[in-house]
A and B are shown apart, each in its own frame.
Chain A
Amino acid sequence: MGNVFLIAEQKEGSVKRVSLEILSELGRQGISATAILPGFGDLSKATESLVNHGATKVIVLEHEALNNYNTEAYTNAIYQYLSTQSPSVVVTGATSHGKDFLPRLAAKFKTGIAVDCISFQFSGDKISIRRPIYAGKCSKTVEFTGIPVVFSVRPNVLAMQTGSKSGSVEKVNADPGLVKAKVINTVASQVKKVELTEADIIISGGRSLKSADNFKIIADCAATIGAAVGASRAAVDAGYAPHNMQVGQTGKTVSPKLYIACGISGAIQHLAGMRTSKVIVAINKDPEAPIFQKADYGIVGDLFEVVPLLTEELKKLKSQS
């Protein structure tokens, strides 16, 4: 299957888990892959993780301009290197950065793209890629008519495993090219939030919460187990939660291990965004709410009573372990 490249992603020297998930899956399919790691400074921890998870080679694309993510600098540097390597497959994680630079990279290669895929299968020199569309209301297979095949993989869907651990590491001086758009400042959120699309556990609230203040009940519960907080469109439209917390077809599509929906009835467009969660729990006053049709476990009850009890119970569990 020609030359397969993973564009790995690191943050402050640590590799994003999705990069390792993709390497693990390539390993299971017997595909050797080179990991490309753009960055600057000490990246030894990151390169070691990539090697441990099966990268046969790690190329560190090094330049000061790649220390923090920049759309044009990353695209230019990756393309400048890859264009000399005759890539047949270029894959990356469907993170905010991956989704940002990959279309530009695909355009440079004058090829197609498949974004946010949930599985891929190599067979001979073909690769067949599966991706959800309509926020998961259905899915389709994508095949490329030429190379390179360029695609990104959704975080949290592929299992992680260690690999042969025999890969080599090489540093290459990167060329970030001309940069016209620059991040001049980053304002961190006052409360550091777990990123929804990468969270293992999500607890979401709906319009039944009745106010923005009441979302604290959900946030308190989430904090006990390091969960991310989500919201339904109804809750966002009512002003109870910001849009970056919205789960659903006009928000984020998520697939955590555990999704707890509190006071969410289960509109089609919300279900679309969370139906691939491994385990779904619904807490709702209305026993007829459609969400119960999709939930593995349901509690018919008032969230204002149930959620605080759940918080206490999870705290107890934490103190025992």
Chain B
Amino acid sequence: MNIIVLVKQVPDTETKVRITADKHNIETNDIKWIINPYDEFAIEEGLKTKERLKEGSVTVVTVGPDRTVEALRTAVAMGADNAVHVKTDGTLDTYLVSRAIAEVCKKENAQIIFTGKQAIDDDQAATFGYVAELLQYPSASVIVKCDISLNKTQATLEQEGDEGAKNIIETSLPAVIAVNKGINTPRYASLPGIMKAKKKEIKTYTLQDLGLGSETSKTLDSDYQLPPERAAGKKIAGDAATQVKELVRLLREEAKVI
């Protein structure tokens, strides 16, 4: 089974965001780059699926500048068999990234595609849906359990619904499955894995190679801004009972939120 995992390289969650002078992006100097945390669960699910089925290969795919190859090497060190890099300069929007990924998935004859439910940088949570639609595959997101039938034609999924509910979904394969935290515990890279990853040959495409040379992004970003600083408010004095009474009074009379 050809298992594809879509990964994105993102700034570490502890990153303090700064904005460039032209306000068209964030400062990327001195950023610690990591694999999008949700995509780590997707890599693990891909590896586990291959282990359960006792056959197949796991191919990780990313789109971005040269630095993003690091994310692919980390995934190979965790156990992925192959890596594909769509090398781009500048910023691509979700639409164009998804077009590129869909082309790669066709070339790799994807039979199941895993990815994280969203990337923690742009928070669009949209690539999974675009890729699925472009390939005419079914899709399901916020998945916390995934069972692939042994004949590899069907998957039973558990989806986190609203208000704490769980939806059980049955889908035919191929499909795009976007996973949530909690589906598994991602493994660490092994030492032999890290050695293997260093030497791993990475398949590289440009947008031209994928027949997308004349395509452009459909959205343009500008005017990046930091949120207004919240001024520190008042600390309420007194013993616990006094503090609580005063808090409830303030919430009612001053803030008018209860």
Residues of A within 8 A of B (CB): 71-72, 75, 95-96, 99-104, 106-108, 110-116, 132-146, 179-189, 191-195, 201, 225, 242-244, 246, 249-250, 253, 257-258, 267-269, 275-276, 278-281, 287, 292-302, 305-306, 309-310, 313-314, 317
Contact = CB atoms under 8 A, between A and B. Distances in A.
Interface stretch (B1-9, B53-61, B70-78, B90-98): B90-98
Contact of A181 (B170, B218, B240): B170
Interface residues of B, number: 83
B162 A195 contact: yes
B186 interface: no
B139 A104 contact: yes
B161 interface: yes
B134 interface: yes
Given A114-B219, A137-B16, 12 more contacts: A102-B129, A103-B124, A106-B126, A111-B218, A180-B175, A181-B171, A184-B170, A250-B38, A250-B181, A258-B255, A280-B233, A297-B235
B219 A243 contact: no
B233 A138 contact: no
Given A113-B124, A180-B138, A275-B230, A301 B218 contact: no
A187 B141 CA distance: 17
Contact of A75 (B11, B133, B140, B160): B133
B19 interface: yes
B167 interface: yes
B7 to A, nearest CB: 15
Contact of A108 (B98, B133, B255): B133
Interface of A is mostly: mixed
Interface in B120-162: 120-130, 132-134, 137-142, 159-162
Contact of B166 (A71, A187, A301): A187
A191 B164 contact: yes
14 contacts: A100-B141, A106-B95, A112-B219, A116-B124, A134-B15, A135-B123, A144-B218, A145-B219, A187-B167, A188-B163, A296-B233, A297-B247, A298-B232, A301-B243
Contact of A112 (B120, B167, B171, B217): B217
Given A104-B130, A181-B170, A297 B17 contact: no
B236 interface: yes
B189 interface: no
Nearest to A139: B225
Given A115-B125, A192-B163, A310 B247 contact: yes
